[in-house]
Structure 1
Amino acid sequence: MLFRKRAVALVAYLMLCGGAMQAQDGKMELSVEKIMRDPKWMGTSPSNIFWSEDGKKIYFNWNPDGNKADSLYSVSADGKNIWKVSPQERRSLPSPYGEYNRAETKKVYEKNGDIFLYDIKSGKPHQITNTVERENSPSFSHNEQKVVYIKDNNLFAWHATDGQTVQLTDFKKGRKAAEEGKDAQRDWLKSQQLSLLQIVRDREAEKEAQKKQQKQDAPSRPKEIYIEDKSVSSINLSPNERFITYQLVNRPKNAKVAIVPDYVTSSGYTEDINTRTKVGDAQATYEFFVYDTQRDTAFAVSMKDVAGIMEQPAYLQEREAKASAAKDTTDSKAKKIAERATVIYGPFWSDNGSEAVVVARSQDNKDRWILKLDPATGKLSVLDRQRDEAWISGPGIGYGSGDIGWMPDNKRVWFQSEESGYSHLYTVDVNSGTKQALTSGNFEVSDLRMSDDKKNWYFTANLVHPGEQHFYRMPLQGGEMVQLTTMPGAQEVTLSPDEKHLAIRSSTSNQPWELYVLNNRKNAKPKQVTQSLTEEFKSYDWREPEVISFKVKDNTDVYARLYRPENPQNNGPAVVFVHGAGYLQNAHKWWSSYFREYMFHNFLVDQGYTVLDIDYRGSAGYGRDVRTGIYQFMGGKDLSDHVDGAKLLVEKYNVDPNRIGIYGGSYGGFITLMAMFTEPDVFAAGAALRSVTDWAHYNHGYTSNILNTPQSDSLAYAKSSPIYYAEGLKGALLMCHGMVDTNVHFQDIVRLSQRLIELGKDNWELAVYPVENHGFTEPSSWTDEYKRIFKLFEENLKE
């Protein structure tokens, strides 16, 4: 009887996973193979939106014909007359990136490694460089008479008046040759010769006179600055052209780089891919310098007097306090506290060129400072300090300098901070230190820009709902936030050069992105420009998942997408999906980057499953406390949110507690493993895809923010790594991993497999994908993977 049930289930599974099927009413019937084809079967959404410099056209990448690659299209500003851009026109277009002069009549940009100056009125480009070497990072000098750019890690200036190019820096690898006074023996011999022999004195005097004359006759050259074996970056010219700031990067010599073997190659040989170091390995250090051309000297800017630079993170203070308490304090000596390593970004100069600020971040990412810089002395004055015992990040803050700029009065700097618990817009006066919040509330602000007339802000915010994004205009000094977009879902807005029109990429949870145009005024009606979806895609009635919220055990509101059958069975099966990345939002009302999974969830619902997709602790879109809720314990609150989600399915949505599965990729794969190992009575089956199994083997930039380092916070790594909990596996586990994964290395899953073997576990399987990196690209791989996932759920969650 058992054999017969399994045979019937297998036949049903093969039918559902097989080729395309059509329902009797003519509507498409989903299958795994159909979903996982090349995404062009759905239609290709417009992307990379930018305006022509005169504001008459909108350009975008699009592929309505289903060709091998996207083409460049354009449409008039009123949304009419779409046409494919000819190769000749495409080649003649200036880069959409670059820098404008203040009047926005000219633009300077890099294209194909050369520098161009574009006259907007005439529409004519002027090529400044035409070399084999790459020039980059062009900008206007403060007086707008020069174009400054980088070539071979040195700063150059092209003069618009005479076309002359001048080299402004001369950074050289290695050390400067030994000078007099550095070698006592040679100096003594030279002194003896000069004192004994007149001919030597005469010739030395003649050489010195020649040198002096040559220096007077020679053209001015920049100072030679020797950087040893370091690399130089972030070269910046001050508005008065007296100061050049730069950063020196010292990369560790003993860092060990992990190697990923690539087995399927054209050569027939296994080829090694050098990838990255592992968390806690030696990291690069950074120094910030000012070269004062007037004094012909370069000096390092020091953070030693900045408030908080010596303040160690709380977890280290606690560890040291415990260690001190355990020792005989009478014999203990005061431990010298070292200055924390930092990175300085900038400077950012006021429009009148009189003031400069920099952003500094501690390399442990617990502090971010906004600092006033005196370039003549290198003195730093604190304007704002953001301290987070977890880690600094959030919209507009990120991991570099973050968004920052000057107000029109040249006295205040604007920036974003999570001081209130949500990322908002602030200003600070560089003289008085007075700080003001221009936005506030339980929502996040992102993509800030100031209007060209300096009267308004434009930005995106999730004010209406955490899962809905709209575009706003607000007076420069703060005040009413005018919502300019009204369509549901999310809006990606590109303003026209005259700021009278908006080009919008908009989507909903069941409709991919399309291009719209909208007049820049409240309550204006958008006009749809593109129709990208294929008839095949439109033939299925894609569900709009319900975005719900529920209370978890610490009384936090957690948001999720819920997919339910029209007529769910009593005590039916359910699947919980875990999105990847950790800091990412998926329980929202726009088209998901997990579009394959979205379609797979529709397929699962067709088969009678209820699906729950949770924005767990650590997700984006909900402020600082949710973002950092996983600090020092991944697999803690983020996992308990899923356990509480499973409880919700049972209590509210009539799901059988013994028929709940879980799956996800990357971070989602990690949570799946933690769920199967530490909550085995909650989840009957799980599919862990490209999973982190041991955080001590992941990268430094991501992992050290959340768990610190293995050598300084080993308990956090032991608590957070699935490999330590493998003995708890009870349910059926599927693991899938690409063999050339350069992000979460294949080694991760190999080590866990060996652990499961040694534990004598036999209720697991591993599927490997020889040609896949972290993000799969081949439809055949996607299809195979999701057939296995569906089979796992059918065999373990169905009656």
Structure 2
Amino acid sequence: MVKRIKIYALTALLICMYVDTFAQEKKVSLEAIFKENVFSQKSVHGINWMKDGKYYSSLVRDNGKAQVVKMNVATGEQEAVLIDGNKLGIDFSSYSFNADESKALIATEVESIYRRSSKGIFYVVDMSSGVSQELMDGKKISYATLSPDNTRVAFVMDNDLYYITLDDNEVHQITKDGEWNHIINGAADWVYEEEFSMAQAFSWSPDGSKIAFIRFDESQVPEYNMQLWGPLYPQDYKFKYPKAGEKNAEVSIHIHDINANESRLVDAGAEQDIYLPRMYWAGSSNTLAFIRLNRLQNQLDLLYANAATGKSKVILTEKADTYVDLNYNDNLLFLEEGKGFLRTSEQDGYKHIYHHDQDGKLINQVTSGDWEVTEVIGVDQKAKKIYYVSTEQSELNRNLYAVKFNGKGKTLLTPAEGNHGINMSPDHQYFVDYYSTANAPLTVSLKEAKGDLIKVLEDNALLNKKLKGYALSKKEFFDFETVDGTRLNGYMIKPADFDEGKEYPVLMYVYGGPGSENVKNSWGGMRDFWHHHLASEGYIVVCVDNRGTGGRGRDFKHVTYGQLGNLETQDQIAGANYLAALPYIDGSRIGIWGWSYGGYMSSLSLMLGADVFKTAIAVAPVTTWRYYDTIYTERYLQTPQLNASGYDDNSPLSHVDKLEGNFLLIHGTGDDNVHFQNSVALVDALIAADKQFETFYYPNRNHGIYGGNTTWHLYNMMTDFIKRKL
């Protein structure tokens, strides 16, 4: 009897110890993610390398005001305060130095316009005296840029290009025809900004004697009318947005000669329906290089223009049966002393580095293999060495390498598996490594060029300590083959108390757009922790990168050309079927959600995969590519006039009759990117098909759907829907 009591007591003690241990690990709550910001990671921002390579500057805050501090690379210690917002009485948010670091530009009261565009109040700071000079009497301007000779600042205001001479503060207006929704000088229009990742559209020549700029004539581009709700009478916000197949802005390149006070047109060819998305001074102030793309983006030309006459000639041409992706050809660097240029291209099937002479003739392909160069970090012209990040270790990872111009002597500099974001010094002696994995937050380290550690600048020790107090399972990577033998990558987040003997519902997360990647060995953000919250509530969260996504070569990415949504949806359905066959998955409870392209995908997956998907959430989805912009859509589908079936066959609007499961549709009415019109059209089609669904709109919110209490409200609502419907 005594022995039995002891056994019961021991068993009870062990149970209490287990319960107590598990109780110490808290569940990931919505409040912790969205209200208390528990899981935000720290980083090191505003690092700019200084000219001698022995120091870098960084933006910090002291007593609420910004400071630019000077950091010693060798010691990692702060040596001086270069710009003090407290002394200037200016709470600036960004800064930049000129080449000799004698002057700096700082900006305050910066307000965003669209994704990359902004305007603010700018000051020039004399670094020797510490005196600041306010530009344009405090009027808000865009893209203020010091001339290389330190005598002028160019900027855009009210769609016109200007410069100020600093010695007398005199304002010089280069263009005078700028007008809202008609003419833009020196700044990108909406679609260039969104799809070619550019906002500033002017550039000083190396000697500061000329400014090259792009002019956008968007007079004939159709307007989109976006109503802004709030006042007694809603306001109309009309802006130029070229939808697929519609008229684009007519673009032209001009070169303004400061001394002659005259501008000349650059010859970009006879065809007007083109794109001119990039300009570069080709090693001197006499030659301007620029890229020209045809409307269908299947031919890219590199041209040289004589800066004195505007006459141009084609130096290099690249063609494709599908499209030439500018993002994969956006690493053009001209070498000193006319020794040619380096560029990237996926012309051999994978994105690699190529070395050309000054006339465009290929000298050699620098890198090669069944992997991709994702970014060129720096070029040491004296040592003839290129530093780049690639997927050579795995498409899930990003690692830094160095290689000679001739392709020899390749060295791996960051061997640790994961994702390495690199900021390298101009003299290529040091770099800052922003490193994370799927299960370890950011570590920011200062390293020598060979990869040796100098100092850890941020280790997120506090976040790591917090994470130990939560019941978190690791993100697990897996792959599987579809019926046609295609290998797809995925990751899975299981409940922390996962039991193989149980069956769990699954929520799949999808984006899936061309060149994107969600399945990577890098630390996630707020959305990942929402997935961890769902895991704590008994769901398994899964993400699968379908065909068309990036990191795996041209063929894998371009296979969706002409039929967006078709193969991608097949792959998400294949992923759901693969999961349903696993013993611990409840195949009758598989859901899917996504945002933007992902909302397009989740909508299609629920409609076309009614036998495998029970529930879907679509946030800010494209519902027909006829409503989306020219540059993005036509790159992958051609125009609606040339490929009507490519636009309609895989539109959710064409498949509303197949909807069987639970559907939640969410959109912001102030979305300038994927217009609210997309969801209005889908709602109308679902009503006509007599389909029941749930929908929610966020007044005046843009594509990101945020601001104030919005994010908390959104994820709380989606969580409730998943619990009710999955």
Q: Is the 8 A contact 1:260 1:275 kept in 2?
A: no
Look up the equivalent residue of 1:285 and give its one-letter code: E
Q: Give matches, 1:611-760, under 5 Å.
A: 611-652=541-582, 654-760=584-690
Q: State the superposition RMSD in angstroms.
A: 4.2
Give the corresponding residue for 1:37.
35
Are 2:547 and 1:542 aligned? no
Secondary structure, in 3 states, of the residue corresponding to 2:392?
A: strand
Go from structure 1 to structure 2 and tell me whether the alpha carbon gap of 1:768 and 1:559 turns closer, same or farther (over 3 Å shift).
Answer: same
Give the corresponding residue for 1:26.
24
Q: Is the 8 A contact 1:732 1:792 kept in 2?
A: no
Shift of 1:446: 0.7
Q: Deviations over 1:250-272 (max 9, x none)?
A: 1124612132342xx3x455344
What TM-score results when the alignment is normalised by the length of structure 1? 0.73
Secondary structure, in 3 states, of the residue corresponding to 2:544?
A: strand
From 226, 229, 232, give the equivalent of 2:185: 232
User: 246-255 or 665-674, which moves further after superposition?
Assistant: 246-255
Q: Is the 8 A contact 1:664 1:687 kept in 2?
A: yes
In 1, Cα distance between equivalents of 2:449 and 2:129: 25
Give the corresponding residue for 2:115.
none
Shift of 1:423: 2.2
From 568, 574, 579, give the equivalent of 2:500: 568
Q: Give matches, 1:380-459, under 5 Å.
A: 380-393=312-325, 395=327, 397=329, 402-431=330-359, 433-441=361-369, 442-451=371-380, 455-459=384-388
Give the corresponding residue for 1:185.
none
Q: Deviations over 1:580-625 (max 9, x none)?
A: 7654321111112xx3332233233334433320122332333333
From 149, 152, 156, give the equivalent of 2:154: 149
Secondary structure, in 3 states, of the residue corresponding to 1:463?
A: coil
Unaligned runs of 5+ in 1: 1-20, 175-225, 306-337
In 1, Cα distance between equivalents of 2:504 and 2:596: 28
Look up the equivalent residue of 1:437 and give its one-letter code: Q
In 2, Cα distance between equivalents of 1:114 and 1:80: 29
In 2, Cα distance between equivalents of 1:392 and 1:71: 43
Secondary structure, in 3 states, of the residue corresponding to 1:448?
A: strand
Shift of 1:164: 6.6
Q: Give matches, 1:753-772, under 5 Å.
A: 753-762=683-692, 764-770=693-699, 772=701
Are 2:259 and 1:259 aligned? no
Q: Give matches, 1:359-374, under 5 Å.
A: 359-374=291-306
Go from structure 1 to structure 2 and tell me whether the alpha carbon gap of 1:744 and 1:356 turns closer, same or farther (over 3 Å shift).
Answer: closer
Go from structure 1 to structure 2 and tell me whether the alpha carbon gap of 1:437 and 1:126 turns closer, same or farther (over 3 Å shift).
Answer: farther
In 2, Cα distance between equivalents of 1:294 and 1:79: 45
In 1, Cα distance between equivalents of 2:20 and 2:530: 17
Shift of 1:444: 2.3
In 2, Cα distance between equivalents of 1:24 and 1:238: 64
Go from structure 1 to structure 2 and tell me whether the alpha carbon gap of 1:276 and 1:339 turns closer, same or farther (over 3 Å shift).
Answer: closer
Shift of 1:717: 1.2
Give the corresponding residue for 2:191.
none
Give the corresponding residue for 2:215.
248
In 1, Cα distance between equivalents of 2:386 and 2:586: 51
Shift of 1:680: 0.9
Q: Deviations over 1:58-100 (max 9, x none)?
A: 525689x9x9x99989876444579999742787899976465
Give the corresponding residue for 1:46.
43
Secondary structure, in 3 states, of the residue corresponding to 2:353?
A: strand
Shift of 1:642: 0.8
Q: Is the 8 A contact 2:282 2:288 kept in 1?
A: yes
Unaligned runs of 5+ in 2: 1-18, 109-120, 187-200
What TM-score results when the alignment is normalised by the length of structure 2? 0.79
In 2, Cα distance between equivalents of 1:757 and 1:480: 63
User: 572-581 or 712-721, which moves further after superposition?
Assistant: 572-581
Secondary structure, in 3 states, of the residue corresponding to 2:344?
A: strand
Shift of 1:678: 1.4
Q: Is the 8 A contact 1:466 1:588 kept in 2?
A: yes
Give the corresponding residue for 2:16.
none
From 485, 500, 517, give the equivalent of 2:446: 517
Look up the equivalent residue of 2:697 and give its one-letter code: V
Q: Is the 8 A contact 2:280 2:290 kept in 1?
A: yes
In 2, Cα distance between equivalents of 1:73 and 1:395: 34
Give the corresponding residue for 1:333.
none
Are 2:708 and 1:776 aligned? no
User: 403-412 or 518-527, which moves further after superposition?
Assistant: 518-527
Q: Deviations over 1:433-470 (max 9, x none)?
A: 23422222212231432248564333322222112122
In 2, Cα distance between equivalents of 1:273 and 1:496: 44
Go from structure 1 to structure 2 and tell me whether the alpha carbon gap of 1:526 and 1:619 turns closer, same or farther (over 3 Å shift).
Answer: farther
Shift of 1:413: 1.6
Are 2:200 and 1:270 aligned? no
Q: Is the 8 A contact 1:428 1:435 kept in 2?
A: yes
Shift of 1:50: 0.8
Q: Deviations over 1:692-727 (max 9, x none)?
A: 222222233322322233344321111131011000
Q: Give matches, 1:198-237, under 5 Å.
A: 230-233=183-186, 234=201
In 2, Cα distance between equivalents of 1:298 and 1:47: 42
Q: Is the 8 A contact 2:42 2:442 kept in 1?
A: yes
Go from structure 1 to structure 2 and tell me whether the alpha carbon gap of 1:280 and 1:261 turns closer, same or farther (over 3 Å shift).
Answer: farther
Are 2:393 and 1:464 aligned? yes
Give the corresponding residue for 2:248.
283
Go from structure 1 to structure 2 and tell me whether the alpha carbon gap of 1:533 and 1:273 turns closer, same or farther (over 3 Å shift).
Answer: farther
In 1, Cα distance between equivalents of 2:133 and 2:442: 36
From 507, 514, 520, give the equivalent of 1:588: 520
Q: Is the 8 A contact 1:60 1:73 kept in 2?
A: yes
Q: Deviations over 1:659-698 (max 9, x none)?
A: 3211112211111110111121121222222222222222
Look up the equivalent residue of 2:354 and give its one-letter code: Y
Shift of 1:295: 9.9
Go from structure 1 to structure 2 and tell me whether the alpha carbon gap of 1:554 and 1:285 turns closer, same or farther (over 3 Å shift).
Answer: farther
In 1, Cα distance between equivalents of 2:261 and 2:55: 49
Secondary structure, in 3 states, of the residue corresponding to 2:663?
A: strand
Q: Is the 8 A contact 1:612 1:645 kept in 2?
A: no
